[in-house]
Amino acid sequence: MLRIPCPWCGLRDETEFSYGGQAHVAYPAEPSTVDDDAWATYLFYRDNPKGWFAERWMHRAGCQRWFNVVRHTVTYEIAASYPPGASRPEPA
């Protein structure tokens, strides 16, 4: 069981959360000018690292807010949890 720190509610069980995949993937600023390649990248391509990963979570059974977490995809250790809009902190 993961224990995930919600920036607003504190440490809670993983079953309270929904997963949102890679963080910091912005919707294209000028959608009408984007070519097929860039659309494919935006829609279908995500990082898949064996290591540190910045990802989105939503506290579904709590405050229902989205936030970001930096988590290690092998040890599952969580190095940081931060509100949307903030930039990604580097794990120590």
Partner 1 sequence: MSEWQVTPRLPEHPDVLWAEAEPKASYDVVIVGAGGHGLATAYYLAKNHGITNVAVVERGWLAGGNMARNTTIIRSNYLWDESAGIYEHALKLWEGLEADLDCEVAFSQRGVLNLAHSLGDVREGRRRVNANQLNGVDAQWLTPDEVQKVAPILNISTDVRYPVLGGTFQPRAGIAKHDWVAWGYARAAHALGVDLIQGCEVTGVLRDGDRVVGVDTVRGPIRAGRVALAAAGHSSVVTSSLGLRLPLQSFPLQALVSELLEQVLDTVVMSNAVHVYVSQAHKGELVMGAGIDGYVGYGQRGSFPVIEHQMAAAIELFPIFARAHVLRTWGGIVDVSPDASPIVGLTPYAGLYVNCGWGTGGFKATPGIGWVFADTIANDRPHPLAEPFSLARFDSGALIDEHGAAAVAH
Contacts to partner 1 by CB under 8 A: 1-2, 13-15, 18-19, 21, 36-37, 40-41, 43-50, 53, 55, 71, 73-76
CA 7 to chain CA centroid, nearest Å: 13
- The correct pick among 4, 6, 23, 80 for binding Zn ion (CB under 5 A) is 6
Contact partner at residue 46 from partner 1, Zn ion, none, CB < 5 to 8 Å by partner kind: partner 1
3-state secondary structure of 88: coil
- Best CA proximity match to 83, nearest among 44, 62, 56: 56
C-alpha–C-alpha distance, residues 2 and 46, integer Å: 22
Among 25, 34, 58, 63, indicate the residue that binds Zn ion (CB under 5 A).
63
The listed partner (Zn ion, partner 1, none) that binds 53, CB under 5 to 8 Å by sort, is partner 1
Q: Which is nearer to Zn ion, 54 or 57 (CB)?
A: 57
DSSP string across 58-74: E-TTTT--EEEEEEETT
